[in-house]
Amino acid sequence: MSGHSTYEPKTGFERWLDTRLPIVRLAWDSVVDFPTPKNLNYWWTFGGILALCLVIQLATGIVLAMHYVPHVDYAFASVEHIMRDVNYGWLLRYMHANGASMFFVAVYIHMFRGLYYGSYKAPREVLWIIGCLIYLVMMATAFMGYVLPWGQMSFHGAVVITNLLGAFPIVGDAITTLLWGGFAVDNPTLNRFFSLHYLLPFVIAGLVALHVWALHVPGNNNPTGVNVQSKADTVPFHPYYTVKDGFAIVLFLMLFGAFVFYNPDALGHADNYIPANPLVTPSHIVPEWYFLPFYAILRAVPDKLGGVLLMFGAIAVMFVLPWLDTSKVRSMRYRPTAKLYFFIFVLVCLVLGYCGGQLPDNHVIPGLSTFTLIDADLNSFVWLSRITTLYYFAYFLVILPVLGLTETPLPQPESISEPVLSHPASTPAGATASPEKRG
């Protein structure tokens, strides 16, 4: 795939540099001349969007750190100082806070894209696993960042999440004490979260470099899931996909701007504008929206350790997905049964997210009490979470392994070009596209 380099140094300086550090050649081969399948749709633009999200978070975060004070007595006030006194501080902070949400919007779409088109299958397993690692570090970074303003949700969110680790037998308490640096979430906790929140984005940047490297070895998957067979199946990355990604980025930034300028607190929680008070817990404590599905899984289990294990398991199962899906067909375009289960899976993830934001004992259908089963009314968000959690795991552990062996996929095209060229509308008068391939 990554064959012969077509880079030709044009100036004397470029020739001199190329024999010492071929960095221009690397850039040329990776983003200018990189052969890319010619049929990528807009679901493939989220990789570029995510790279931009990381750059925005790094840039805004570094300047916010110039004004923020990581101390329990000053953290909340310093955030308000950024909002009110620092020149354009409001803009930088709203970009950073909403940027985190936009980052997760993009990463979830990117992941569902990978699931639908089978981008995790051979030979892209390592690419997928590095992606899962990036997602994991992103979640840790976002969680620690949310603690920094030291509002009520910051504080009690940190209490709940660090207490999760206390569920593990024997070592649990030692781990939470080590994380806290004291007997409770306090100043040492805030300090180390700030340090790690600054560090982890650079870890993400390193993982992104590996992710792109792992992408450039086998090359992009594509909507048909069929391997690239010849140069006829590809176009150079530039200008075809720089323009396509660029257009998608413009649309994405419009959504981003709509939040930053017109509804900057829509995705946050009002309680986080109350300074942290360790003696009072907010009556309804919820994490940020992007953690809600996992929060619903946690609460679905009536046992503390069981809930924690299932929540971590929901992420762990993604790492082994390449070996769970038994189907040889990559794209679900040619797997009608799998496609149905996939769309149910997307719906289930959204329902889990909704359940995570509700009080567990509230009724799903208002005013209807049924009967109590395992600690909760059947018509409650606990039970809706339980059913959807079951489907979440069944999709990975039962449906994908079994379906690959039992379903009958539709015939796949022989190449990326074939379905386009054989379409009647694209056949010029007098020409027959790939006549040797059509029966």
Partner 1 sequence: MSGGAEGGALPDVGCARWVEAGQTGRRPQAKGSFQVADTATGATADPHASGDDPNRRDFIHIAAIAAAAGAVGSLAWPFIDQMNPSADTLAMASIEFDLTKVAEGQQVVLKWRGKPLFVRNRTAAEIAAAVKDDGAALRDPAKDEDRHKPGKAQWLVLIGTCTHLGCVPTFGGGDYGGWFCPCHGSHYDTSGRIRKGPAPKNLAVPDYDFLSDTKVKIG
Residues that bind partner 1 (CB under 8 A): 156, 159-160, 162-164, 177-186, 188, 192, 278-285, 299, 302-304, 307, 360-361, 375
Q: What length is written for the chain? A: 439
Give the three-class secondary structure for 171: coil
Structure tokens at 90: 């409001």
**Do the strands 376-377 and 372-373 form a parallel or antiparallel pair, or are they unpaired?**
antiparallel
| Among 138, 399, 67, 98, residue whose Cα is nearest residue 263 | 98
What is the C-alpha to C-alpha distance for residues 112 and 114, in angstroms, rounded to an integer? 5
CB of 318 to partner 1, least distance (A): 24
Structure tokens at 185: 């979430």
CB of 285 to partner 1, least distance (A): 5
* Complex with partner 1: residue 156 or 211, whichever CB lies closer: 156
What is the C-alpha to C-alpha distance for residues 298 and 385, in angstroms, rounded to an integer? 9
33 phi and psi, to 5 degrees?
A: -100, 5
CB 81: neighbour CB atoms within 10 A?
A: 15
CB 161: neighbour CB atoms within 10 A?
A: 19
* Complex with partner 1: residue 257 or 306, whichever CB lies closer: 306
**Do the strands 35-37 and 376-377 form a parallel or antiparallel pair, or are they unpaired?**
unpaired
* Complex with partner 1: residue 192 or 216, whichever CB lies closer: 192
* Complex with partner 1: residue 265 or 361, whichever CB lies closer: 361
* Complex with partner 1: residue 91 or 364, whichever CB lies closer: 364
| Among 220, 237, 241, 352, residue whose Cα is nearest residue 298 | 352
What is the C-alpha to C-alpha distance for residues 266 and 264, in angstroms, rounded to an integer? 6
* Complex with partner 1: residue 11 or 283, whichever CB lies closer: 283
* Complex with partner 1: residue 197 or 211, whichever CB lies closer: 197
The interaxial angle of helices 187-216 and 46-64, nearest 10 deg, is 150
Task: Please give, one letter per residue, the 3-state secondary structure of 228-291.
Answer: CCCHHHEEEHHHHHHHHHHHHHHHHHHHHHHHHHHCCCCCCCHHHHCECCCCCCCCCCCCCHHH
Tell me the one-letter amino acid at 331.
Answer: S
* Complex with partner 1: residue 262 or 371, whichever CB lies closer: 371
